[in-house]
Chain A
């Protein structure tokens, strides 16, 4: 149990376009989902925390108008990278916290590799 999927797993887009990444909890309800960014050979940096039905909380330095997060249901959160630029190329990982399980644990998706050309 506690499976989190991400779609797509890889995406290549042109500079200036927008890209949407989906994060789904497959077998549990997730009241809270997290979005992380990982640069090559570096750690995961928390970008934002999203709670179902409310606005996401962004970490310092993350542009909320550029990285739009929507958590419309208990099983789906989306991250939209708007007007993408090459410097947005990265590995984006989501995680979800189950509303009915161990309160502190996060379950991670497999990640989405974004390449902006």
Chain B
């Protein structure tokens, strides 16, 4: 089945690390993504990881993938006010028609407590 779950809310203090978790069910995922959405805006791609990797680091962002447990996480180091947004994980799966489509998670609202 196609199901991607995230916790709804996360509050952190400015300067601390934020860890946003995501679980998915479709084992055929090829790529997994993290997107950021600010109020009333579209989605901004933050980073992505290929399904045969277990970690990817990009400046303040660290993505961990546990394929066995179908668990993906995003760690944001030194969380700032500008990081407050909704974060969506998404998996890319190959459809029967041969194209890739995204399945989005439920989104985690990150709030920075200054």
B residues neighboring A (CB under 8 Å): 30-31, 35, 40-45, 48, 88, 92, 97, 99-107
Docked-complex contact A110 and B42, CB < 8 angstroms: yes
Q: Is the CB of B41 within 8 A of A32?
A: no
- Contacts of B35 on A, CB cut-off 8 Å? 108
Residues of A within 8 A of B99 (CB): 32, 49, 51, 57
Minimum CB–CB distance from B26 to chain A (whole Å) comes to 14
Task: Please report A residues at the B interface, Cβ cutoff 8 Å.
Answer: 6, 32, 34, 36, 41-46, 49, 51, 57, 93, 95, 97, 103-111, 113
Contact: B88 with A113, CB < 8 Å? no
Task: Give the secondary structure class of A's interface.
Answer: strand
- Known: A34-B102, A49-B99. Contact between A44 and B88, CB under 8 A? yes
A12 to chain B, nearest CB (A): 15
